[in-house]
């Protein structure tokens, strides 16, 4: 992926961003869109973006909100009814002492901003932050932008590439300050069960680490529900739970995410945000409020979308079964398939990038190379795309793999 030295013709980037790489997930979908606009019939399995329209009851609520004057600044941390709704939902999960209140909630411009703000206020120079790997590309960069060091902790191949408390403990040093968790996981779709997540939370509590738990895919599961860190944590003293409406409600463009944090952390995140973006769009907050409070319609809409993801996942797995040498993590949540393409020949040892390039050039299919998630022998395929695109795209992926890697494992 390009870093700023190749992007920044004519200026020397500041030390803040000198090491920064642009987001590979965003770059793949931008390229797929550009090729489509130029007339190529690209099947985009790169973007992790639901292809559904935002449910009608949410769109209508937003229209009403605009007409009622939701066109001005709001409190930096978000409108009170939305924060109250988020706190109420969280209280339904949290088993520890003391209620979660609206003052513990900060609404931001997507969960991406919540994650960045949390990293920025919690970590700094000299700190190490454990990042289970593979992980979503932006965690590594967010930690680095906070001038801390992201320590990639390889997941266990025998456990769907998930990390264990033991693996985290082995990677920790006296400088470890925190750990980034994400279940269901982007890019693998793996789900941590209560025992796995509970053991990690226990270790973090013992060591006084901050836990940032990104639960943006929590409502998208295909078997048992994914536990929230809120259900398992003994207390919230060092816990920041991040979520949003983008994935479950097909609301990526509305840009509403939030963090539930100890009060002092929430206040620091709000102060930081007051100098950068201020509040996220007022109308978007009212749309998110409808998503969280019009429960019956919301449940129906989410269930219908999850059923579609589920059917696509099953169809994709049936197709992959025709190429038994192609390994993958069986996804129990989110909408990604992570494929082991390390047997594909490459000049530079980056089999995932070689395969992704070949798929795009020879088969018009866009996927994200595993190097974005610090695991170069893999590619990520998103099935948050129209049914036909997923079906045809996965067939081409399977055929291309058979052609390039044959029976090699
Ligand atoms: N999170 C999604 C993905 O991994 C959307 C793009 C991004 O923000 O990275 O594809």
| Interval 152-159 mean pLDDT | 98
The pLDDT-based confidence of 7 (bands split at 50, 70, 90) is low
Residue 147 has pLDDT above 90, yes or no: yes
Q: Which residue owns the Cα nearest ligand 1 atom 10?
A: 48
pLDDT of residue 276: 98
pLDDT in tens, 83-137: 999 999 999 999 888 899 999 999 999 999 999 999 999 999 999 999 999 999 9
Q: At what angle do helices 110-122 and 137-145 cross, to 10 degrees?
A: 40
Q: From the CA of 138, give the closest atom in ligand 1.
A: 9
Say whether 72-293 and 4-53+298-404 share the same fold: no
Residue with tokens 């398992």: 232
pLDDT tens-digit readout, 348-392: 999 999 999 999 999 999 999 999 999 999 999 999 999 999 999
Q: What is the model's pLDDT at position 95?
A: 87
Q: Is the CB of 25 under 6 A from ligand 1?
A: yes
Torsion angle (degrees, nearest 10) of CA 341, 342, 347, 349: 130
Q: Please report the atom of ligand 1 found closest to the CA of residue 368.
A: 10
- Give residue 113 CA to ligand 1 midpoint distance, Å: 13
Q: What rounded mean pLDDT belongs to the chain?
A: 96
Q: Average pLDDT for residues 182-201, to the nearest whole number?
A: 98
Q: How far apart are CA 408 and CA 111, in angstroms?
A: 40
pLDDT digits (tens, 9 = 90+) for 263-293: 999 999 999 999 999 999 999 999 999 999 9
Percent of the chain predicted with pLDDT > 90: 94
pLDDT band at 47 (very low <50, low <70, confident <90, very high): confident
- Give tens-digit pLDDT for 321-334: 999 999 999 999 99
Q: What is the pLDDT of residue 209?
A: 98
- Work out whether the CA dihedral 53, 309, 193, 188 comes out positive or negative: negative
User: For residue 3, what pLDDT band results from cuts at 50, 70 and 90?
Assistant: low
Q: What would the two tokens of residue 187 be?
A: 């890019």
For residue 337, is pLDDT > 60? yes
Report which ligand 1 atom has the smallest distance to the Cα of 137.
Answer: 9
Domain boundaries, the chain: 4-53+298-404, 72-293
Evaluate if residue 148 carries a pLDDT over 60: yes
More confident site: 187 or 8: 187
d(C-alpha 82, C-alpha 290), whole Å: 9
Which of the 8 DSSP states describes residue 301? H
Rounded to an integer, the average pLDDT of 158-182 is 98
- 46 has pLDDT over 60: yes
Separation of alpha carbons 257 and 113, rounded Å = 8
- Measure the CA–CA gap between 96 and 280, rounded to whole angstroms: 30
Q: Rounded to whole angstroms, how far apart are CA atoms 297 and 236?
A: 31
- Of 306, 313, 192, 187, the closest CA to residue 247 belongs to 306
Residue of minimum CA distance from atom 5 in ligand 1: 48
Pairing, β 43-44 against β 365-366: parallel
Question: Is the CB–ligand 1 distance for residue 135 below 6 Å?
Answer: no
- Give the pLDDT confidence score for residue 4 in this predicted structure: 67
Instruction: Please report the atom of ligand 1 found closest to the CA of residue 26.
Output: 6
Pairing of strands 239-244, 257-260: antiparallel
> Quick one: CATH architecture of 72-293?
3-Layer(aba) Sandwich (3.40)
Whether 1 shows a pLDDT value over 90: the answer reads no
C-alpha neighbours within 13 Å on the C-beta side of residue 286: 19
Q: What's the pLDDT at 277? A: 98
Question: What's the CA gap between 371 and 349, in Å, rounded?
Answer: 11
Judge if the beta carbon of residue 338 lies within 6 A of ligand 1: no
pLDDT at 394: 98
Average pLDDT over residues 298-323: 97
Does the domain at residues 4-53+298-404 carry the CATH identifier 3.10.110.10? Answer: no
């Amino acid at each position: 992926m390009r870093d700023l030295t190749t992007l920044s013709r004519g200026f020397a980037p500041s030390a803040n961003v000198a090491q920064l790489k642009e987001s590979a997930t965003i770059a793949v979908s931008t390229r797929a869109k550009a090729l489509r606009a130029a007339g190529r019939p690209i099947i985009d399995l790169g973007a992790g973006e639901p292809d559904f329209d935002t449910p009608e009851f949410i769109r209508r609520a937003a229209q009403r909100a605009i007409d009622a004057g939701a066109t001005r600044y709001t409190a930096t941390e978000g409108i009170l009814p939305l924060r109250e709704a988020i706190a109420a939902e969280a209280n339904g999960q949290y088993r520890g002492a003391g209620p979660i209140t609206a003052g513990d909630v900060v609404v931001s411009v997507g969960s991406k901003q919540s994650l960045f703000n949390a990293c920025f206020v919690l970590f700094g120079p000299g700190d190490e932050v454990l990042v289970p790997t593979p992980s979503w590309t932006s965690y590594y960069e967010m930690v680095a932008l906070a001038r801390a060091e992201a320590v990639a902790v390889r997941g266990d191949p025998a456990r769907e590439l998930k990390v264990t408390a033991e693996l985290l403990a082995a990677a920790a040093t006296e400088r470890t300050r925190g750990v980034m968790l994400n279940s269901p996981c982007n890019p693998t779709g793996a789900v941590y069960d209560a025992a796995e997540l509970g053991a990690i939370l226990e270790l973090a509590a013992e060591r006084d680490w901050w836990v940032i738990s990104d639960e943006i895919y929590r409502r998208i599961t295909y078997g048992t529900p994914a536990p929230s860190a809120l259900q398992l944590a003994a207390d919230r003293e060092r816990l920041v739970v991040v979520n949003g409406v983008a994935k479950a409600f097909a609301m990526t463009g509305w840009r509403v995410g939030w963090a539930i944090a100890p009060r002092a952390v929430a206040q620091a995140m709000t102060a930081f945000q007051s100098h950068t973006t201020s509040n996220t769009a007022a109308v978007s907050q009212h749309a998110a409020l409808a998503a969280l409070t019009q429960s019956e319609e919301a449940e129906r809409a989410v269930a219908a979308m999850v059923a579609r993801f589920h059917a696509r996942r099953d169809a994709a797995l049936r197709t992959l079964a025709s190429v038994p040498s192609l390994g993958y993590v069986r996804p129990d949540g989110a909408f990604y398939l992570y494929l082991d393409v390390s047997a594909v020949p490459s000049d530079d040892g980056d089999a995932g990038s070689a395969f992704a390039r070949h798929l795009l050039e020879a088969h018009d299919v866009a996927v994200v190379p595993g190097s974005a998630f610090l695991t170069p022998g893999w590619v990520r395929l998103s099935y948050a795309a129209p049914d036909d695109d997923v079906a045809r795209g996965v067939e081409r992926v399977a055929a291309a793999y058979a052609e390039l890697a044959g029976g090699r494992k």
